[in-house]
Structure 1
Amino acid sequence: MPADARQTLHKTFQFVDLSSLSISSVAPIFSVAAAGSAMVQAAGAEVPLAIVLIAIPFILCSWIFLSLNQHFPNAGASYHWSRQIMGIDYSNFQAWIVIMAYFWSIPPILIPAAQFTLGALGVPHPGTGLQIVGATFWALFAAGVLLFGAHITARVTQIFLYIEIVSVAFMAIVGYSHWGPPAVGAGSFSLSHIHWAGVIVCMVVAATIVDGWEIDSYASEESRKPRITPGWGGIIGAVSVVLYYLLIWPLLLHQVPLERLQNTSDTLSLWAATVSPQFLPWMRVAIVASTAGSLWLTTFILSRALFAMSRDKVMPGWLGRLNRGHVPHWSIILPILLAMAVVLMQVFFPNMRNLFNLALSAAGFFLVAEFLLDGINMMRFLLIQHHSVRHHYKTHHHAGLLLGSLVVIISLSAVEVLFFIYGPKYIAAGIDQTVGVFLLLGIFYVLWLRWRKAGQGIYVFDGLESQED
């Protein structure tokens, strides 16, 4: 299927851009600040163990993404790979999973972005009106960063990432220079007394803070070397963020009492206020930068997926239209508008708040499901199709990837099952039914696409045409 030059994404990103996107998209500072309390409530001092256990399949997934990028670079990434490997119906279901995973990840970022910003400006307990104003500001800012084109997106992301990296460095320097006896009430880790139920629950929660690195796969068509650089940025992002968590969590657990960590809405600000109050203003700025970056980069992933789905006639054609910056503007604007609508409905219709909270909590399940399906895609590809695909490299084999795919399938399947077992008790009552309804809607979506018979296709991106220096 030939590409219309007017409807082609700009080949902008170099390796450093993709690496920046992958690291920033994980938003490690925002993730710890916002999800830290829930993780400590579940696992106590065993949070680092839970992070390591859940990080293993995710790091293996980053290698899977690298290989699939080399064989099938495409803006649709996971959605497109399943289309190439498993077929249209399976791919349409994965399209639903991808949409659920990333759309329901956007509204939970908007209000914290507003709250963290207002807190940094000296408004510790903002009213509803101010929170809406703050959320609207960041929604518009994120839209602007994305609509002005990939080059602007990369540069703004790098500025915000620089703030985050400097903050992590300062936190490590300040924290370890103040290392001493544990705080009164701090947790202690012992291999002989591991509370496995809590660790398992924490793994389910932590699954939502070790993803985001996959953004460079969705940016593959905008890479100058689409069969070479996409995927490597994801590996760097996945590994670096785990190292960051293992650097920072010992400080939190050693220097702040567990009870205080369990009952705060912002673990990093609490740590800064406890250990080094003069560092608190800078930490708040870093949290804002991390949160904001997470907002537009999550939207970036969803917009590229919708763009690819539009080309294949899985989504309406207007979602694939590009503006002067060669970005799919409606695929950017629509998710942000809908996310703001969800936020407003949560605020103004309290009786619907619990329903939306359940939907937002389900995002973690679908994020894990995306990587689980990619593990299945990889295994089928290696076992059945790999020998028949035209390669751009010399003859090669992937025995390690086959084993890695098996580990991913087994481990992430276990996480999804445990989500249904522990989710209603530890995450939110009714979360299992909510996920079940969304999965059922996904099946109806696939059946509707079959009934519609809209001439769905598979857009094959020829990455060789785009390799530039």
Structure 2
Amino acid sequence: MPVAERLLRTKPTERIVAEGGRGEGGELRRTMSLWQLTLFSVGATLGTGIFVILGQAVPKAGPAVVLSFTLAAVTALLSALSYAELAGTIPVSGSSYSYAYATLGELVAWVCGWCLMLEYAVSVAAVAVGWGEYLNAFLHSLFGVALPDAVTRSPGQDGGVVNVTAIAIVVLATWLLLRGTSESATANAVLVLVKIAVLLFFCAVAFTAFDAGNLDPFVPMGVAGVTAAASQVFFSYIGFDAASTAGEEARNPRRDLPLAIVLSLAVVTAVYVLVALAAVGALPWTDFEEEGAEASLSHIADLAVGATWPGLVVSFGAVVAIASVVLTVLYGQTRILFAMSRDGLVPRVFQRVGRRRVPVANTVIVAAFVSVLAGLVPLGQLAEATSIGTLFAFAIVNVGVLVLRHRRPDLPRGFRVPIFPATPVLGAVMCLLLMAGLGGTTWLAFTLWMLVGLICYFLYGYRHSRLNAEVG
């Protein structure tokens, strides 16, 4: 078979589904309900943008950051509907990597999987960095002390050496994941409920200081500012696809995966818009500063009441709840690598299943990599690098829906994208537009990441691919 045909050879959908759950040394256990899957996606998403990125986006768009969140949500919804269809058709752990393998071929699947490594691993690191900021805010409010900059900031930031706090939360999440999927899902459910309660508390406090004058002018930086902020806050919607990485551990994947994806995005969007409106209404947008913005919600809560206890509550909620983002996104990364390993594209160690029915070595290796990123790279650079990789993967998923509907209209689907083909086409276009709004440095980093990925594929993945080995 010619090389070009090998690179574009697709893996039969029926085979992908049949191999689901199987790893080296055992199988994953189906324990997750619709409720747990929905909270998994909410846990991976809710809090990432509001707790960490909001303060950096407001200076770009002003009060119109509310529109930025809405624009990003519409873009996410278009892709979420495509994810829902493919998750209900190909209910396996590989998420968009597996969908691309079934629709666009091995090379595109590899590129998608490589983007997912950027999306999941880097977003975990970015959130872990924000977690350290809230931990400091909480300790300062409660005890009047703060951890040294040397252990709470990345190198290159004021006084930063190694961000030990970011590494600590990654280690804690890893410990939970190694205990088992059911235990991780239960812990996540508790953390998500705490997170929602804290954000609703923030809204209640901030609206007491709401001043309509703070919203005038509403779009001070113009449409360009709204779009630029939307490109950045799209990072806050990363995670709604987390349920799709649990396809091999869901009890009823064809029915529950699509529902969990759509329900989680609806919850997240409603909370984001409400919190963003409360924040810019309580504090003039010109008072938001990008530096030190990671703990901006605590600051706004304190100003609204004129006391420190509201900020203490928000900081505590963030310290507890942002941990759920680290937990669920780290989980997603390990399951994608599990699927890629099963196809031979990454080493076999990533598919080895331990006695608790979890990929132990996979989890430890991913945690070590994420810890290095979290300890050494600043937040802003991580967030934008994550956005571009995610948008690229989402565009591939939208195209995948179009291709699979054309090639295999007979496949059973637990969900169908409405207004087909307009929805996936528009979803792909919106992803490309948001990618265009990201900076040149981000594009350069993304290009270099893709080049490294292609080198890895041709040096290892292409030579070890199980699909290629079958044709000699």
> So what's the TM-score if we normalise by structure 2?
0.85
Partner of 1:13 in structure 2? 32
SS in 2 for 1:230: helix
Describe how 1:33-52 pairs up with structure 2 within 5 A: 33-52=51-70
CA distance in 2, matches of 1:127, 1:445: 37
How far apart are residue 4 of structure 1 and its match? Answer: 6.4
After alignment, is 219-228 or 162-171 more displaced?
Answer: 162-171
How far apart are residue 273 of structure 1 and its match? Answer: 0.8
Partner of 1:374 in structure 2? 397
After alignment, is 105-114 or 41-50 more displaced?
Answer: 105-114
Distance 1:135 1:59, change over 3 A: same
**Contact 2:345–2:462 at 8 Å: present in 1 too?**
no
SS in 2 for 1:105: helix
CA distance in 1, matches of 2:87, 2:113: 17
How far apart are residue 372 of structure 1 and its match? Answer: 0.9
Distance 1:260 1:221, change over 3 A: same
Letter in 1 for 2:281: H
CA distance in 2, matches of 1:79, 1:457: 17
SS in 2 for 1:262: coil
Distance 1:205 1:307, change over 3 A: same
- Identical aligned residues as a percent: 17
Letter in 1 for 2:26: Q
Partner of 1:464 in structure 2? none
**Contact 1:359–1:434 at 8 Å: present in 2 too?**
no
How far apart are residue 228 of structure 1 and its match? Answer: 0.9
**Contact 2:399–2:424 at 8 Å: present in 1 too?**
yes
Partner of 1:272 in structure 2? 301
Partner of 2:10 in structure 1? none
SS in 2 for 1:362: helix
Which one of 56, 75, 91 corresponds to residue 109 of structure 2? 91
How far apart are residue 214 of structure 1 and its match? Answer: 0.7
CA distance in 2, matches of 1:457, 1:216: 29
Partner of 2:446 in structure 1? 435
How far apart are residue 291 of structure 1 and its match? Answer: 1.8
CA distance in 2, matches of 1:26, 1:50: 17
How far apart are residue 271 of structure 1 and its match? Answer: 1.1
**Contact 1:118–1:126 at 8 Å: present in 2 too?**
no
Distance 1:221 1:182, change over 3 A: same
**Contact 1:161–1:289 at 8 Å: present in 2 too?**
no
How far apart are residue 189 of structure 1 and its match? Answer: 4.7
After alignment, is 433-442 or 367-376 more displaced?
Answer: 433-442
How far apart are residue 174 of structure 1 and its match? Answer: 2.8
Distance 1:388 1:181, change over 3 A: closer
Which one of 178, 198, 213 corresponds to residue 167 of structure 1? 198
Deviations 1:331-377 (A, max 9, x none): 21112111222344x3xxxxxx68x9756631110011111110111
Matched, 1:385 2:412: no
CA distance in 2, matches of 1:4, 1:190: 53
How far apart are residue 275 of structure 1 and its match? Answer: 0.8
Distance 1:42 1:297, change over 3 A: same
CA distance in 1, matches of 2:413, 2:444: 46
After alignment, is 254-263 or 121-130 more displaced?
Answer: 121-130
Letter in 2 for 1:438: W
CA distance in 2, matches of 1:134, 1:26: 21
RMSD across aligned positions (CA): 2.5
Partner of 2:422 in structure 1? 403
Which one of 229, 241, 244 corresponds to residue 202 of structure 1? 229
Distance 1:401 1:221, change over 3 A: farther
Aligned residue pair count: 433
Distance 1:338 1:412, change over 3 A: same
CA distance in 2, matches of 1:61, 1:249: 23
How far apart are residue 451 of structure 1 and its match? Answer: 4.9
Matched, 1:283 2:314: yes
Deviations 1:186-223 (A, max 9, x none): 342547x7701111110110110012111111011111
Which one of 388, 393, 400 corresponds to residue 365 of structure 1? 388
Describe how 1:93-242 pairs up with structure 2 within 5 A: 93-122=111-140, 123-124=145-146, 126-129=148-151, 132-176=163-207, 178-182=208-212, 186-190=214-218, 195-242=222-269
Distance 1:239 1:392, change over 3 A: closer
Deviations 1:30-70 (A, max 9, x none): 42232112211110111011111121121122221121112
**Contact 1:115–1:126 at 8 Å: present in 2 too?**
no
CA distance in 1, matches of 2:53, 2:418: 36
Distance 1:142 1:84, change over 3 A: same
Deviations 1:261-312 (A, max 9, x none): 2354222011111113332211111111232111111111100000011111
CA distance in 2, matches of 1:93, 1:245: 31
Letter in 2 for 1:115: E
SS in 1 for 2:148: coil
Distance 1:198 1:155, change over 3 A: same
**Contact 1:61–1:375 at 8 Å: present in 2 too?**
yes
CA distance in 1, matches of 2:181, 2:40: 11
How far apart are residue 446 of structure 1 and its match? Answer: 3.5
Distance 1:281 1:313, change over 3 A: same
Distance 1:194 1:114, change over 3 A: closer
